[in-house]
Structure 1
Amino acid sequence: MSLLKASTVDFEKAWEEMQTPLASLLSGLPQSLPNAQWLAMYSSIYKICTNPGAPQAELLFFRLRGLLVTHVDALLEKLRRTDGEVEFLKAYCAAFEAFTTGASYISELFRYLLALHIWNDIAFATLKKRIARSVVGIYDTARRESADDANVCGLRRERRAEDDAERCVLTYYALGLCKHDPMSLYRAELDRPFVQHTLEYYSALGKELISKLSVSEYLKEVEQLCLKEQRRCEGILHRVTIADVRQMCCEVLVQAHAERICADAESFLVHNQTDDLHRLFVLFSELPTEHALTSFKNILKKFIEQRGLDVVRQFGHEDAAKNPESYIEALVQVHNEYFALIKQTFGFNALMRRALDQLPELLARYTHCLMSHDKRPGGTPHELHPAASGIPSTSLLAEESLEKKVETVGVVFCLIDDKDVFKKHYAKFLAKRLIKGTSIANDLEILLIQKLRDICGHDFVSKLQKMLKDKLLSKELLGAFAAWMEEKDTELRKEDAKHALAIQLHLSTAYHCDVLTAGAWPISSASAETQLLLPAPLEVHVALFTKFYTERSSGRKLLWVHQCASGTLQARCFAKRHEFALSFYQMLVLLLFNTATQLSHADLRRLTNIPPSDLSHHVASLVKAKILLASSDAENPSYALNFDFTSRKLRVSAVPSAPVEPAKAVKATSREVAEDRKMALQAAIVRVLKTRRDILLPQLEVDVVEMLRNQFAPSPEMIRQNVGILIDKEYLRRHESSEHRLVYVA
């Protein structure tokens, strides 16, 4: 066209020649134009637009627009007179398709004019509400028919109606004239009214069904309704609408009745209705929030805990003491049963796995039971075995059997998400075994820690290995102290007369002292702030050991944690000799009765400086063992030695049972885990940024999760929260180009 030369043209004559072929094209009637006529129209249009005297492109534009408007007005009048929804849609689609076909030919002649604007401004703007109502009406008819129709979709019974609806939807796509958002017309004029009507329809239907069906039957019906609606929309409506409709169905049919559904969830668990449980889980998972799924998770968790309590009641105190291994295995079996349920029925969903979040502590206590030979009572109600009595000894569990069970612990450990929680509890139990000397074999302790190291790496077990190392070093240190005392014997006696008492105590008493690294051992030093009043020989002996250690290890400070100590006292004041296994506080109390026959509670507090709550607890255990007799004075009772004490046993244990772990302590443990996770997460983020220097947030989340997978599974929200903290601390910053791009600040 650009090769043609500009020339004058008679506009009216040229338009008269073009008007009839253009009207014929728009009518959709069979029409074949010879090439000569096409070329003549091209030439005329070019001459009109490039007329040297006065270009008449604007006049041509309005003439063509008038032709299109007249044609569309005629179609509009014809469509208005059409009766019946299906017939109307069929006529509308036929007219639109004929118009767009003709407009496409005209567009080749008039590229600057978009004929669809004419249709949109006149026909669609007038009929759009009726079009949407017609599509919704066809779907309403299909829904009602599908209730009595064996076919999946009611639209299949009226194939022509389905085709007309599909063709009508395509017209919305063709009329999407906004280049930046071509779907805006479809969303505004069809998607929104369709979804809103669907919400109202299924909301009313859900209320009707829930009132006359059981929850199990209701879930089956909802599953079928959602499936039918999805299939009814597929291939006709846009995928965005299909997703919106599916979610809307779940909201009005499931979320609106979640409380009623959850009320029957426990019944599904009791009767092992796995199909109903799976159906419930799938429908809850499709909801926009996790509120309903969290409620169901809490029901599952409570039910699992109840099953565990049933095992406790079934065994009872005595049976558990006689057969602790079977007791433990029964509890583990409960866990395995519901672990399989979560894996098979709930697809191993992360939220549902939290219903088994007691597993880390359970496994830690199980491990403690296997690795300990302590037969004394004194466990807590939270322990895996009631009263912690009857723990299997080496005679009950051969070393080979123990090694197999250690292997089992490693296998179960791999299944735990919160490995850091297991380590927190395991460290407490390991410290208890090492301090009290109740571990079956040091080699088995090393074997298990090595297995944990192989699974999670050296950093994970560094503190546990330090605990074992401290025990070995303490043994060597005690030998060196004995040699130092022997070497300095004469010098110490001359230095202070009190040293003779300490030397005598050292030579006549069998004792062991552990020097533990602060920070590696899960031991609270709060009680160490209270300065106990020790017997004179013991106080001097402590001072000598402190002097020896300070000379040997400069720069280190000893903090004595006496509440962890225990020992055995020999008593020769009864009918026969007895040995009492006691806590350190109890030893301090009984030693006072070497010089007194009766002491009040206030006297014991004044002479020992033991914290009041601890003093009452430990003295109560002595009274319970009938070693001491207590007066009836509730405010300030007095205690006297029971000279009539008798026991068939030579060695009598009066160690008090550990008090029930208070809620504050449980929360403190959770808080410690949260703080440890926060530090580990921030360290991992900085480590990744140091390596990459520049990274997108989604990739950072992937790298951090992979780095910490052997400790715990951080959520994206947790990662983003700590990224914000590190930005505030100026360890990293957001890139200027995008807030989702992070840069390391050296």
Structure 2
Amino acid sequence: MSLSERKTIDLEQGWDFMHKGITKLKNILEGLPEPQFSSEDYMMLYTTIYNMCTQKPPHDYSQQLYDKYRESFEEYILSTGLSDSFGNSFILSRFSQSSPSIMSLSERKTIDLEQGWDFMHKGITKLKNILEGLPEPQFSSEDYMMLYTTIYNMCTQKPPHDYSQQLYDKYRESFEEYILSTVLPSLREKHDEFMLRELVKRWANHKIMVRWLSRFFHYLDRYFIARRSLPALNEVGLTCFRDLVYKELNWNVRDAVISLIDQEREGEQIDRALLKNVLDIFVEIGMGQMDHYENKFEAVMLKDTSAYYSRKASNWILEDSCPDYMLKAEECLKREKDRVAHYLHSSSEPKLLEKVQHELLSVYANQLLEKEHSGCHALLRDDKVEDLSRMFRLFSKTPRGLDPISSIFKQHVTTEGMALVKLAEDAASNKKPDKKDIIGLQEQVFVRKVIDLHDKYLTYVNDCFQNHTLFHKALKEAFEIFCNKGVAGSSSAELLATFCDNILKKGGSEKLSDEAIEETLEKVVKLLAYISDKDLFAEFYRKKLARRLLFDKSANDDHERSILTKLKQQCGGQFTSKMEGMVTDLTLAKENQTSFEEYLSNNTADPGIDLTVTVLTTGFWPSYKSFDLNLPVEMASALLLFNSADRLSYSEIMTQLNLSDDDVIRLLHSLSCAKYKILNKEPNTKTISSTDYFEFNSKFTDKMRRIKIPLPPVDEKKKVIEDVDKDRRYAIDASIVRIMKSRKLLGYQHLVVECVEQLGRMFKPDVKAIKKRIEDLISRDYLERDKDNANMFKYLA
């Protein structure tokens, strides 16, 4: 094993070598033919033990070697007996004679300081010559042993001949003399990259010199230095280089390194290995601390980095489009990471990237994002997915860098949504006057476009913006703005309910596969999350569900249950309880009908008519107002025709009634053009023509229960809204009572806040409505005002 290298020796390998030496010694003691030990043999055995005891854990085998030392004696004594071992002391003299030197290892003569140092100085001079490349033979094991033994003897002589302190001082002086006479002059005459190469060479030589001299003087480390708590030999050697070389040249070295880094940033080829070696000196010179690297090099390098990229960014922001600028910024960050990987210390990476990100992104964030034809608005408008992803990656690493992007995203989505609302309004305004109260194709198209818009930008959030909560929040707020806008007098809640009805009923305009229906319903439920008046949607949906179920218009029972499950997950069990009850009622009704038919079949009973009975739970189903119509026979006969047909022409009605033209015209005019429109006419004019078509007005309603003439239709929406308002009053009452029952005493403002929080999931209660309900509860002795403070309320049990 070379003294200039330290390879890890495992226990088995090392002891195998030592055992061979011990066996040789035993053979010599037993008189067996063996060559005498040479100085090189001794040195190899000693060095093996030394290396095995000074390796880093878990490869420090000191304890194991200590045990094997004892075992070697025990094994020899037990195997050969005690008597023979005392007659072989001649081996010691033979062993000592094998080391021809000026100081025998078996003899101890007093060595004075001048004589001993003269011998050591020759060895140190030889080492210097080798480092300088001068012709010198390499150190042999015998040379090393002689130098080590000289130090050992000079340190273990009895006072006043113990020269430990003097040798410790001369150890330092040896480095100082070499650096001042040889190292510094060679560095001072070189500049820039040549100086760096010379520095790397001199530092490598210096570490070799420290390693060798530390071994020569090793006895000082083990005893003298340990007892005096002095700096170790290795530390002294490195400190000399730091104090004499590093302190003088570190500014020049730093500037040369930064100059090479800037050259590389400009696209020039540089010697990265050289920079790595130089920067390692900054780290190693700190001897375990990063102060020298961070304060003497890194701080200035970071400042230079900021200045460099500040100059670049000021030009790029004027010359390049937003996508091109981001490509350059991303490439710069990638290259800076590459520099860290190749020659900068790993601890510099976050600091370096922060400087680059600040100069390239943070400083020009607003200008970059707001670029007229290529900024964030343009990227969203032109669906530049890759550029948007890059924008997110870059700005997600800067402090609050995503805030302006999410704000622009919200603004863009809101603008597109409001444009859809305006298109739907314009289409509704062009609709025929007689059809304005009916939600038609344009409104259905509007809902479909809103769903598509949500799909598109939800994909952006998940993919481009990596599912970041800030963009989910922006998307939610944007959709809440335009999803709660009415279209053509219809609320978003009604539009969504009608859209679902169109999908789920037989013969709807949406012709979709089962998978597409499920997917669409899932998307509708997601949109419902943005609607503030969810209770209004629930009531509209319930009424339309009732028609589908009672008139057997539902296309698929599984789809009906599926959307109720989705609504339940989104809004809670209370939201869908009535609807689920309605579906259950119809399921039970079908089972009862099947049982009834089986009964009739089994008992050969024939009632003579087809009888179907549906038992409904009153609380689940919407109620409808009934009317008693007092009509002439002709009008009643005309209305009865619509039991078998949804739409009839003028000629069909006249033929079936067998009346004259004048009678039919007067009859139909009363039913469709007078004050009360029992029939809807197409076209909607005030005169009856032979080409007209008529439909029964299913929305007919009136305030009066008994009427003699058909009454004009009252918009079903009005009743729904009235019913919802009534339910809201009950919900507010219940919420106030629950809160006051738990609190007993509460101020007006706190009561209002808690009430809004409780009811916010279903609707946004109006503060005035809450105040009215409080007054009503006071009048009904549920609450009372505090006598001392009118804004405090007490709960009355």
Q: TM-score, normalised by structure 2?
A: 0.52
**Which amino acid counterpart does residue 110 of structure 1 have in structure 2?**
F
Alignment correspondent of 1:150: none
Alignment correspondent of 2:424: 315
Deviations 1:495-527 (A, max 9, x none): xxxxxxxxxxxxxxxx985389xxxxxxxxxxx
The alignment partner of 1:301 has SS state of helix
Structure 2 CA distance for partners of 1:216 and 1:393, relative to 1, 3 Å = closer
Alignment correspondent of 1:133: 255
Q: Aligned partners of 2:623, 2:383: CA distance in 1, in Å?
A: 49
* 2:228 is equivalent to residue 166 of structure 1: no
The alignment partner of 2:625 has SS state of strand
CA contact (8 A) 1:26 1:101 kept: no
* 2:403 is equivalent to residue 294 of structure 1: yes
Deviation, 1:136, is: 0.8
Deviations 1:39-85 (A, max 9, x none): 11111122223223354322211111111122222346415632421
Q: Aligned partners of 1:331, 1:464: CA distance in 2, in Å?
A: 24
Structure 2 CA distance for partners of 1:48 and 1:452, relative to 1, 3 Å = farther
Deviation, 1:119, is: 1.3
Deviation, 1:299, is: 1.3
Q: Aligned partners of 2:573, 2:462: CA distance in 1, in Å?
A: 32
CA contact (8 A) 1:453 1:460 kept: no
Structure 2 CA distance for partners of 1:110 and 1:465, relative to 1, 3 Å = farther
CA contact (8 A) 1:297 1:351 kept: yes
Deviations 1:581-629 (A, max 9, x none): xxxxxxxxxxxxxxxxxxxxxxxxxxxxxxxxxxxxxxxxxxxx99xxx
Deviation, 1:387, is: 10
Alignment correspondent of 2:74: none
Q: TM-score, normalised by structure 1?
A: 0.55
Deviation, 1:92, is: 1.4
CA contact (8 A) 2:424 2:443 kept: no
Alignment correspondent of 2:413: 304
Structure 2 CA distance for partners of 1:450 and 1:658, relative to 1, 3 Å = closer
**Which amino acid counterpart does residue 410 of structure 2 have in structure 1?**
K
Deviations 1:324-380 (A, max 9, x none): 443322222222233444455445555444443369989999xxx9xxxxxx99742
Alignment correspondent of 1:35: 141
Deviation, 1:22, is: 1.8
2:119 maps to which of 17, 29, 34: 17
The alignment partner of 2:328 has SS state of helix
Structure 2 CA distance for partners of 1:421 and 1:314, relative to 1, 3 Å = closer
Alignment correspondent of 1:330: 449
Q: Aligned partners of 1:190, 1:257: CA distance in 2, in Å?
A: 28
Q: Aligned partners of 2:531, 2:717: CA distance in 1, in Å?
A: 27
Larger radius of gyration: 2
Q: Aligned partners of 2:450, 2:243: CA distance in 1, in Å?
A: 73
The alignment partner of 1:357 has SS state of helix
The alignment partner of 1:652 has SS state of coil
Alignment correspondent of 1:568: 625
Deviation, 1:266, is: 0.4
Alignment correspondent of 1:105: 212
Deviations 1:385-425 (A, max 9, x none): 699999678354399959555521476599x7xx9958998
Alignment correspondent of 1:64: 171
Alignment correspondent of 2:355: 248
Deviation, 1:131, is: 1.7
The alignment partner of 2:364 has SS state of helix
Structure 2 CA distance for partners of 1:47 and 1:465, relative to 1, 3 Å = farther
* 2:361 is equivalent to residue 273 of structure 1: no
The alignment partner of 1:272 has SS state of coil
Alignment correspondent of 1:380: 491
Q: Aligned partners of 1:423, 1:324: CA distance in 2, in Å?
A: 16
* 2:320 is equivalent to residue 213 of structure 1: yes
1:496-535 pair list within 5 angstroms: 514=619
Deviations 1:677-720 (A, max 9, x none): xxxxxxxxxxxxxxxxxxxxxxxxxxxxxxxxxxxxxxxxxxxx
CA contact (8 A) 1:453 1:461 kept: no
* 2:156 is equivalent to residue 47 of structure 1: no
Deviation, 1:236, is: 1.4
Q: Aligned partners of 2:367, 2:450: CA distance in 1, in Å?
A: 31
- Unmatched tracts of structure 2, length 5 or more: 1-45, 51-68, 70-104, 222-232, 432-438, 587-615, 636-675, 678-702, 726-748, 763-797
User: What's the RMSD between the two structures over aligned residues?
Assistant: 5.4
- Unmatched tracts of structure 1, length 5 or more: 147-152, 370-375, 476-510, 517-564, 578-624, 627-640, 677-746
Q: Aligned partners of 2:352, 2:174: CA distance in 1, in Å?
A: 41
* 2:518 is equivalent to residue 407 of structure 1: yes
Structure 2 CA distance for partners of 1:441 and 1:389, relative to 1, 3 Å = closer
1:211-610 pair list within 5 angstroms: 211-263=318-370, 264-287=375-398, 289=399, 291-316=400-425, 318=428, 321-357=440-476, 379-380=490-491, 384=495, 394-397=505-508, 404=515, 406-409=517-520, 412=523, 429-430=537-538, 433-434=541-542, 438=546, 440-441=548-549, 447=558, 451=562, 462-463=573-574, 466-468=577-579, 514=619, 568=625
**Which amino acid counterpart does residue 304 of structure 1 have in structure 2?**
V
CA contact (8 A) 2:306 2:355 kept: yes
Structure 2 CA distance for partners of 1:127 and 1:265, relative to 1, 3 Å = same
Deviation, 1:204, is: 2.6
**Which amino acid counterpart does residue 111 of structure 2 have in structure 1?**
V
